[in-house]
Amino acid sequence: MKFAHGRTQGDEIKLRWLIVGVLATWIGASFIWPLTSVYLNKQLHISLSMIGVVLFCNCAGNILGSIISGRLYDKYNPYPLILWGVGLNVAVLFLMAIFHGWPEYWVWLTITGFLGGWNGTLINSIATSLRHHQGRYVFNVLYFSQNLGVVTGTLIVGYLYDYSVTLLFVIAALLFVIAFINALFNYRPIIGFHKERVAKGQSGDTQKAVPMPKRNFIMTMAFFTTLGVTWLMYMNWESNLSVYMVSLGIPFHLYSLLWTLNASVIVIMQGILARFPNMFKNLFHQIIFGICMFSLSFITLVFAKDFAHFALSMFILTLGESTAFPAIPAYVNDLSPKTSKGKYQGATMAASGIGRAFGPLFGGLVIDQAGYIPFFWVAAIVIALMIVMMIPIYLKLAKKLTLYK
């Protein structure tokens, strides 16, 4: 492999401040999305089909925000971009605390989806500027922080929801205020990074817009396809699996317990990967392992009839999630030229968003036509086909890829 090394002079954002930003925003976001379906249906009496449209708009906004912010990161100073994104999120959440009826809740949720994609892509893009840590270490730590935020937020929201929905929105807004203050004071080094890359472009040291090499692009598209397909199937754990488990006589609270298991395994696995970042020979091996686990988890679902077997399936699924999902943006970072890292981090978020948006619909159609067991086989086979696609491409291109460290 060829290496295109690039070093940034001067200070850079400390990883711990990115972690603070991720924790604050994900805890805050986790106050909103878990209660959306219940709140809209039970308190605002919105139909489930309409709630599906609302959630789709949230995902569509997320995709759009990811694409736009990723491209803007490559061209403009990221510092005001992240401040505007987090600041607007604060404003929207305070507005949600005051006006959370219908249809304004739909509007706010769509905007928060856009801002979630905007801020998430900018955080990942800013993470590519860090040079004091390996890329895989940085993305593993950020993924760990993200899921720790989800665990914390979902635990708190369960206790506060019955007390006051308004309070939840206010606390979420205050968490984003913390994220804004953190960004205001601790993300300033990204200004110097931006000025340096602009200066290099003007001096001719690097091109203003270096195109991604064709071989890198092919490999990246394989990753995006795999990410989208995997999320397409994974989302059915969050939607259709609850109905299936209840139909088997398993109480709903045990289905909820699976997500506690999911979050716990993610946190543990990310801690292990952060402590031993070279556990896998390379990022591609880590991705293949994770995707294999995703496929295997759906095979085990075919035979799951009691909670213990569903817990085993969730454990296997989570091994896949905690290894493949942080490794893909890390590898995309290595394959992306410095002038287009934001663009491709945005595309990574968008690929995930597309899978999340259409997953429940796809699963529902297959289940309605053929049933749950055929769907599990379809999911396992289609995910396995992603492995069959990626390995030959990697073996053919591995030695010819250009890595931008």
| pLDDT band with cut points at 50, 70 and 90 for residue 388 | very high
Is 192's pLDDT higher than 90? no
Are 354 and 256 part of one and the same domain? Answer: yes
Rounded Cα–Cα distance for residues 58 and 29 (Å)? 12
Report the pLDDT averaged over residues 323-334. 90
User: Does residue 208 form part of some domain?
Assistant: no
Are 266 and 394 part of one and the same domain? Answer: yes
Question: Which among 14, 26, 262, 29 has a CA at the least distance from the CA of 138?
Answer: 14
pTM of the model: 0.76
Residues above pLDDT 90, as percent of the chain: 39
- Residue 343 has what pLDDT? 85
User: Does residue 209 form part of some domain?
Assistant: no
Rounded Cα–Cα distance for residues 27 and 388 (Å)? 37
User: Does residue 53 form part of some domain?
Assistant: yes
Residue that is last in its domain, among 160, 177, 203? 203
Q: Into how many domains does the chain fold? A: 2
203-246 pLDDT, tens digit each = 544 445 678 889 999 999 999 999 999 999 998 887 678 778 87
Residue that is last in its domain, among 179, 203, 227? 203
CB of 234 closer than 8 Å to CB of 294: yes
Name the average pLDDT for the chain.
85
Tokens 């860090």 label which residue?
A: 130
Is 326's pLDDT higher than 60? yes
Is 184's pLDDT higher than 80? yes
The phi and psi torsions of 316 (rounded to 5 degrees) equal: -65, -45
Which residue range forms the structural domain that includes residue 319? Answer: 214-403
- Residue 202 has what pLDDT? 55
- Residue 308 has what pLDDT? 93
Is 189's pLDDT higher than 60? yes
User: Does residue 362 form part of some domain?
Assistant: yes
Element (H, E) at 403: strand 402-403
User: Does residue 115 form part of some domain?
Assistant: yes
- CATH code where residue 30 lies: 1.20.1250.20
Is 347's pLDDT higher than 70? yes
